[in-house]
Amino acid sequence: MLSTSGPPPALGGEVMTVSDPSELDRLMALASGEGQASAAWDGCLHRLHQVQGARAALARSDASSPRAALRARRDAPGEGDKR
């Protein structure tokens, strides 16, 4: 049977079992980094939307334009074959 209730709240009457000071420090450092991780995630999503927009714009262009742009990038000094 599928439960519709969420998990119990953290430390809501539970006993904390982590007692190693270095593990506690590590967990506290991870937990305090939520804002930074959220900002990084927002940046990644913004970049992903830019990539998707660029691909959509390229898909709407005539075939010769992207080919010419790729050729120009390939032939630019210092670019070469980066495989």
Instruction: Report pLDDT digits (tens) over 24-47.
Output: 999 999 999 999 999 999 999 999
Residues of the chain with pLDDT under 70: 1-16, 79-83
pLDDT given for residue 17 in this prediction: 77
Structural domain that includes position 59 = 48-77
Dist. CA 71–CA 83, nearest whole Å: 15
The span from the first CA to the last CA of the chain, in angstroms, equals 52
Contact present, 19 and 27 (Cβ < 8 Å): no
Q: How far is CA 63 from CA 24, 45, 48, 72, in A?
A: 57, 28, 23, 15
Dist. CA 58–CA 49, nearest whole Å: 14
pLDDT given for residue 66 in this prediction: 81
- Residue 65 belongs to some domain of the structure: yes
- Residue 12 belongs to some domain of the structure: no
- Residue 54 belongs to some domain of the structure: yes
- Residue 57 belongs to some domain of the structure: yes
- In total, how many domains does the chain have? 1
